[in-house]
Amino acid sequence: MLAWTAPTTIACLALGGLLLGLFVVVELNVHNEPLVPMWVFGVRNLVIACMVTFFCGMTMFAVIFYMPVYFSAAFGVSAMRAGLLVLPFGIALSISSFASGYAMSATGKYRLLLRLGPAVMAAGVVLLALLGKVPPIAQALLLLVPGAGMGNVIIANVIAAQATTHPRFVATVTPLCEFFLSIGGVIGVALFGAVHRNRLAHILAAGAAGESPAAQKIIGEARRDVSVVYATTIPGPLRAKIANAYMHSMALGLWVLLPFLVIAFVLAMALEESPLKAGPRDVPLDSE
């Protein structure tokens, strides 16, 4: 694990910034079919939709990526069961996406759903951070809350972007929302991982003080391999100490993500609702 001030880290960040700037310059000079037309960043609703997707994507991917690790470390469940315990997030996301899509089709309104998404996700993150010691099944059920919020975001943001855009550019702005979702996920996982791993290392280092050399070796291994937590050879008190370290470090990671959901909610409040475009059945057959 490299430090933020390590030459490799600085070089990667500098190269990433350079390539991003080069991409913008190229896109500004491609007039026929640019991958990302730069004019989209001058459209208020498009920018808001992409930013809300970005910030909510940070939380979504961080939860999907790290909650199985949390279940394994905190409760000693197998990797397979840990993955299954995250399933409620995906189920809630799917049901919420369907329900919000149906609601938007029936009412023609999407702004309220877009605002509800980050708010519900923020409530779910707070519950997960505060209720870290409840049984794993209860923790899994808590994932229904952020999953339901993310379902609203995924659909409402795309609809908001499409409603603001001329039909000719719908195929351009739709994948743009998914692009920001993916980029947000990458940054969210990296941020959560950095906070979690650093906090975990600090707590375990403090917990290793006064322990026997054998226990210190186990604690050192627990930093790199979560399966150490539920090894049968580890004494109960030591296992509890390591599990508590994972609980506290995971909770801190969730708290760090919360401000980004607040920003997403504030941005969603600034969204202006545009009328939805006519569907295929609303367009006359002889229209161009």
Q: Cα(147)–Cα(131) distance, rounded to whole angstroms?
A: 17
- 60-108 pLDDT, tens digit per residue, is 999 999 998 888 888 878 888 888 999 999 999 999 989 988 888 888 8
Instruction: Give the pair of three-digit tokens for residue 148.
Output: 């339901």
| pTM assigned to the model | 0.83
User: Taking residues 130-153, what's their average pLDDT?
Assistant: 89
Instruction: Give the pair of three-digit tokens for residue 94.
Output: 């799917």
- Of residues 181, 41, 170, 27, the one with CA closest to residue 97: 181
Q: What percent of the chain has pLDDT over 90?
A: 27
Give first-to-last CA distance, the chain, whole Å.
Answer: 58
The answer to whether 62 and 189 have CB atoms below 8 angstroms apart is: yes
- 221-259 pLDDT, tens digit per residue, is 777 776 666 665 677 777 778 888 888 899 999 999 999
**Is the pLDDT higher at 266 or at 132?**
266
Domains, in order of start, for the chain = 44-275 (1.20.1250.20)
User: What is the CB neighbour count within 10 angstroms for residue 171?
Assistant: 11
Going by C-beta distance under 8 Å and a sequence separation of 6 or more, which residues neighbour residue 117?
52, 56, 149, 150, 151, 152, 153, 156, 157, 264, 268
Show the CA angle centred on residue 78, arms to residues 75 and 84, nearest 5°: 90
- 1-17 pLDDT, tens digit per residue, is 667 788 888 898 899 88
- Residue 285: pLDDT band with limits 50, 70, 90: very low
